[in-house]
Amino acid sequence: MNMFNDLTAVTSADGGTGTKASIASGFGGASKTYDSASRLQKRMGDAMLSRIPEAFEPESVLDLGCGTGWFTRKLIARFPQARITGADLSPGMLAQAEAATVAAGVSWLNADAEQLPLANESVDLVFSNLMVQWSQRPEVVLEECQRVLRPGGLLVMSTLVDGTLRELKQAWAKADPGQPHVNRFVPAKQWRSLAEAVLPDALLEFSPICLLYETPMALNRELKHLGAVFKGEERRRTVTAPGRFRAMCRAYPGARSGQVSATYEAGWLFWQKPTAG
């Protein structure tokens, strides 16, 4: 019986427009500012935590794409008897996570989510918050999660899908036509098909989240502090001219009426690995 039958369905996204080295470097460079800027990340991760059944008591937990360890520490508090591992592609993020975590018994692992150095069926809970969208092969990430989970184990994962930052994309299209400035994410339908092909009976849910910003530049600063700036190979190799930023700000929807909003098309995935027999 699936432990998430009472949950609404959720989904996840792709992305993965940059090389792994550039992604690790970009997030590592943001390790000191990430927690102060991670409003969306905290909101989506808290939603996942709240949906893990109270009766579930894992012996081994993997925080996949742990970043600064914000949710690793929440997982330690929620499951004090479990062995907790925080894994991330970025050494800079892991260093920040280890420095900010005083709890004993937690392990830190510099690892690629597409090739986890973990044994088959060695983890009871995989928690992954807004990581998979940076992978060029999200199906491989899902396969790895499936592989390392024990029968009866749980995967809870969040992501972003197409339509995320649509307002920013619209503004840049007017300010700098033909030049991409916003990360691309897979359509929800594509993510659903991919996830269900790898994880039968996975529960998927989509829900837009709107955040308010004082100005479009405040949104730009938050993305920079998160390390989530545009990572596409077609990005400019030179600094974007101030005039283009000003043009983007003028073109941003609602910019002339005070605060502006940014839409994030959020997705969650919940899956329980079947038990034998």
Of the candidates 105, 73, 74, 72, which has an alpha carbon nearest to the alpha carbon of residue 88?
72
d(Cα 186, Cα 237) in Å, to the nearest integer? Answer: 25
Instruction: Tell me which amino acid residue 217 is.
Output: M
Instruction: Tell me which amino acid residue 227 is.
Output: G
Q: 78 is written with which tokens?
A: 């929620």
Question: Between the CA of residue 45 and those of 41, 232, 233, 266, what are the distances in Å?
Answer: 6, 25, 29, 11
Taken in order of first residue, the domains within the chain and their CATH numbers are: 20-162+186-208+265-272 (3.40.50.150)
Q: 181 is written with which tokens?
A: 């400035």
Q: 135 is written with which tokens?
A: 């992978």
Question: Between the CA of residue 28 and those of 54, 72, 225, what are the distances in Å?
Answer: 34, 17, 11
For residue 15, with 0-12 CB atoms within 10 Å meaning exposed, 13-18 middle and 19 or more buried, which class applies? buried
Side by side, which strands form the sheet with 83-88? Answer: 106-110, 83-88, 60-64, 123-128, 149-160, 260-272, 203-213
The DSSP call for residue 143 is H
Torsion over CA: 223, 226, 230, 236 (sign): positive
Q: 54 is written with which tokens?
A: 């109270």
d(Cα 263, Cα 163) in Å, to the nearest integer? Answer: 8
d(Cα 172, Cα 146) in Å, to the nearest integer? Answer: 39
Check residue 9 and give its pLDDT.
25
CB neighbour list of residue 248: distance below 8 Å, 6 or more residues apart: 168, 171, 172, 174, 175, 176, 181, 216
d(Cα 40, Cα 44) in Å, to the nearest integer? Answer: 6
Task: Check if the beta carbon of residue 37 is closer than 8 Å to that of residue 229.
Answer: no
Task: Check if the beta carbon of residue 101 is closer than 8 Å to that of residue 70.
Answer: no
pLDDT in tens for each of the 277 residues of the chain? Answer: 333 332 222 223 333 345 766 665 555 555 456 556 678 999 999 999 999 999 999 999 999 999 999 999 999 999 999 999 999 999 998 999 999 998 877 999 999 999 999 999 999 999 999 999 988 899 999 999 999 999 999 999 999 999 999 999 999 999 999 888 888 899 999 999 999 999 999 999 999 999 999 999 889 888 887 766 555 555 554 556 778 889 999 999 987 777 899 999 999 999 999 997 5
Check residue 27 and give its pLDDT.
58
